[in-house]
Amino acid sequence: MLLRTFSFQWVYLVLFAFIAIYVNIRLNYLEETNENLQNALQQLKAEIKNNPTPESKTQTHPLSKDDSYVVIYNRVPKTGSTSFVGVIYDLCKKNKYHALHINITNNMHTLMPANQMQFVRNISYWDSMKPAFYHGHIAFLNFQKFGFDNRPLYINILRKPLDRFVSYYYFLRYGDNFRPHLIRRKHGDTKTFDECINAGQADCDPNNMWLQIPFLCGHDPACWEVGNQWALEEAKRNLQRHYLIVGVTEELSDFILVLQSILPRFFKGAHNLFLHNNKSHLRQTTQKIEPLPETVKKIQKTVVWKMENELYNYALSQFHALKRRVINASVQDVNQRFFYEKIRPK
């Protein structure tokens, strides 16, 4: 009996010794592994400090909400866009944002499908440029179509369609005061707009007014089909759903004033700069002759003018409604606040 007891004690001692040895080996291994990890971490920190990458900067200093803003101004030609963009570039350093011009090959207004995706990805992930103000003669592009929820803030400016059309006609012949020495495509052609209409020439064809609708409609081929009713309705829908604000050339000063109120991150000080620093008439067509009343009547009978004018009037009514709430706000509106209460569970 005594011998059996002794045998069990010996087995327990051997087992205990084995466990003790195993635990000691594991502890030594864990200590060595931890030391290696600490050394690797210190080395990584040193490398990041000496050679910071955009990714490490983004992770270490995440963008604040104000610094993540992206504004896209898909500017329609001959709507006062150069004067407006001049204000943007003068303010970008002071207000601490980046301004970038979108330049598309051969002055095209739409992108190929692959470039659409790349464009959306670039703007969405280019954090080192944010906050960013992009501008260029490019049709509206819906970011949600490509699965991106962080949509940019779209803005635009429209102009009375016939005024824009006439301005562009003379611009191609006489240029402007922005680059007065640049020879334009129709340089030397002194035919007036009225004479062109009477002669039925192609460059004053009323169908050429079909531009503001497709710019707000987007990249769908139907947007660029002259006289397409769906394109007009889609342009209205986009204006209402996707644009922060669409102003008009004829009220450009008020457009900037409204932007200064609702988007001060970019437009703080913009209105005063526009009024008092020679920015309100940055680009004017050198010579322009107003069309005769009979020419105007002829243009206004066309389907394209009626549709373009419908979009303009729709944008104008939307802008006036917004302007009343911002510029001509009542005392009650100015002092409006909101807060949260009855929050459950406590």
Q: Which residues are catalytic?
A: 135, 137
Tokens at 30, concatenated: 């864990």
Q: Assign 137 to helix, strand or coil.
A: coil
E-state strands within the chain = 70-73, 98-101, 132-135, 153-158, 243-248
Question: How far is residue 112's CA from residue 132's CA, in Å, rounded to a whole number?
Answer: 23
Specify burial of residue 112 (Cβ count, 10 A radius: 0-12, 13-18, 19+): exposed
Peptide bond into 221 cis (omega under 30): no
224-233: Cβ within 8 A, 24+ apart: 224/110, 226/304, 227/303, 227/304, 227/307, 229/307, 232/307, 232/310, 232/311
Residues with Cβ < 8 Å from 210, sequence gap 6 or more?
224, 226, 227, 304, 307, 308
If phi > 0 it is left, if psi is from -120 to 50 it is alpha, else beta; for residue 41 that is: alpha
Nearest residue to 309 via CA among 225, 213, 197: 213
Q: Could you give the count of Cα atoms lying within 13 Å of 285 in the half-sphere of its Cβ?
A: 21
Please give the C-alpha separations between residue 310 and each of 152, 158, 169, 235, 316, in angstroms, as whole numbers.
26, 12, 22, 11, 10
Nearest residue to 218 via CA among 163, 282, 146, 283: 146
